[in-house]
């Protein structure tokens, strides 16, 4: 058992006064973040100077004197906004995200409280500058004896308020099981297991696409900027997006938890989803299925519960390799879902065969750091422009 950082997210319903304070805090945090981003960009473009968090934090008192209304909110969330900006730059330079952009008033809003900026007593959370605790809906309890180290309050585009509490928790590993599985990710079926089981793709976006298009058309017809009718139409569009996102995330969590609990070793391909969505024929379907978020959940849950997640090379020809004799066919179009090996005569289902090869390659790579290298080279030489995952 080891201590792990874990965030518990709940929805809460603020009073009118709390709503006003939060709106003011969100606006100030957004202003400080945008000011910091503009200052860093200007300093580097004009002077060639790279500013970090410490430099911007030292400039913050002068900014408060220039804009006195920044002192009407708690100081800690403003400092955390600069920390978030610094983290955004680190993620950009390490290749995990794009260059930081300015925050918008119409987008998701958030503010982070740490240290003495909040109090947690008897299961009630009170933020700085507030007299009453937040009315939080606890759908699950926080671990006993755990006090939040930081609290992030957020509001999404559908005007729903959430609070995320970060705690240090002792997560008990799951019992060891004698089971291994390879996962082939697709579009017709979201996950195909090496055991032969196929988990369907619910296609949450496709089911609500007509409803979303209708709401977007109504929003587009509201021409007067800043009107109440335009805001109501925008909120309806946001609610449809929130419904799609919530249902997809719930499905991914249930499926990833089930796979983690039933298998000791999980093997999966390391997909470059951001490259796959550049194909306009597949972009909508790939974004709807959510491969990247699903693999991310498998990653951190395997660390929590003592499982092993192995990612294999994305260029390994899992679909074109015969699982029995390891023969690699020269070409296997996407519309071919079943095929017979010309060497050993074994019939293969394309997806199940790929899942079994992923499991075998993952175990091989884990044991000796290698795999079927000649097959990998042959696949690259045969058709280097082939998209790895384009299941129909």
Q: Between β-strands 180-185 and 161-171, what pairing exists: parallel, antiparallel or unpaired?
A: unpaired
The C-alpha atoms of residue 216 and residue 315 are separated, in whole angstroms, by 39
Looking up tokens 């969100």 gives 26
- Is-catalytic flag, 299? no
169, 269, 288, 361: which is the annotated catalytic residue?
A: 269
Structure tokens at 323: 């699982």
C-alpha angle 72-75-78 in degrees, rounded to nearest 5? 105
Looking up tokens 């060497």 gives 343
- Is-catalytic flag, 184? yes
Ramachandran angles phi, psi of 154, nearest 5°: -140, 155
CB atoms within 10 A of CB 2: 11
86, 169, 288, 351: which is the annotated catalytic residue?
A: 351
The C-alpha atoms of residue 114 and residue 97 are separated, in whole angstroms, by 25
Q: How far is CA 312 from CA 269, 270, 355, in A?
A: 5, 6, 12
184, 246, 288, 343: which is the annotated catalytic residue?
A: 184
The C-alpha atoms of residue 241 and residue 237 are separated, in whole angstroms, by 6
- Is-catalytic flag, 351? yes
Q: How many Cα neighbours within 13 Å face the side chain of 96?
A: 6
The C-alpha atoms of residue 287 and residue 294 are separated, in whole angstroms, by 12
The C-alpha atoms of residue 43 and residue 72 are separated, in whole angstroms, by 28
The C-alpha atoms of residue 38 and residue 179 are separated, in whole angstroms, by 52
Residues with a catalytic annotation lie at: 184, 269, 351
């Amino acid at each position: 058992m080891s201590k792990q950082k874990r965030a518990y997210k709940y929805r809460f319903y603020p009073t009118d006064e709390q709503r006003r304070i939060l709106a003011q805090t969100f606006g100030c945090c957004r202003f400080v973040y945008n000011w910091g981003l503009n200052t860093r960009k200007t300093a580097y473009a004009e002077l060639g100077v790279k500013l970090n968090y410490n430099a911007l934090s030292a400039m913050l008192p002068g900014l408060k004197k220039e804009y006195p209304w920044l002192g009407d909110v708690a100081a800690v969330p403003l400092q955390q906004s600069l920390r978030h900006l610094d983290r955004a730059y680190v993620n950009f330079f390490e290749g995990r995200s794009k260059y930081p952009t300015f925050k918008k008033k119409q987008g998701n809003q958030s503010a982070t409280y740490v240290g003495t900026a909040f109090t947690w007593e008897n299961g009630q959370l009170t933020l700085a500058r507030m007299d009453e605790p937040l009315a939080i809906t606890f759908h699950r309890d926080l671990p006993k004896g755990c006090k939040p180290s930081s609290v992030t309050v957020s509001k999404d585009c559908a005007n729903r308020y959430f609070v995320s509490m970060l705690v240090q928790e002792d997560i008990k590993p799951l019992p060891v099981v004698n089971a291994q599985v390879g996962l082939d990710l697709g579009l017709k079926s979201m996950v195909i297991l090496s055991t032969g089981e196929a988990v369907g793709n619910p296609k949450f976006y496709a089911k609500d696409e007509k409803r979303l298009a209708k709401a977007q058309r109504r929003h587009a017809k509201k021409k007067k900027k800043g009107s109440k009718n335009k805001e109501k139409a925008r909120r309806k569009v946001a609610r449809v997006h929130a419904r799609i996102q919530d249902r997809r995330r719930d499905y991914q969590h249930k499926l990833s938890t089930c796979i983690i609990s039933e298998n000791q070793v999980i093997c999966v391909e390391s997909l470059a989803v951001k490259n796959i969505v550049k194909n306009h024929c597949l972009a909508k379907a790939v974004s709807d299925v959510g491969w990247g978020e699903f693999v991310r959940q498998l990653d951190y849950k395997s660390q929590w519960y003592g499982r092993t997640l192995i990612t294999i090379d994305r260029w390994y020809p899992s679909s074109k390799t015969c699982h029995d004799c390891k023969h690699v066919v020269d070409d296997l179009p996407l519309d071919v879902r079943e095929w017979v090996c010309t060497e050993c005569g074994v019939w293969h289902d394309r997806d199940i065969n790929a899942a079994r090869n992923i499991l075998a390659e993952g175990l091989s790579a884990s044991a000796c750091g290698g795999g079927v290298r000649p097959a990998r080279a042959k696949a690259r030489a045969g058709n280097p422009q082939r998209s790895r995952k384009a299941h129909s």
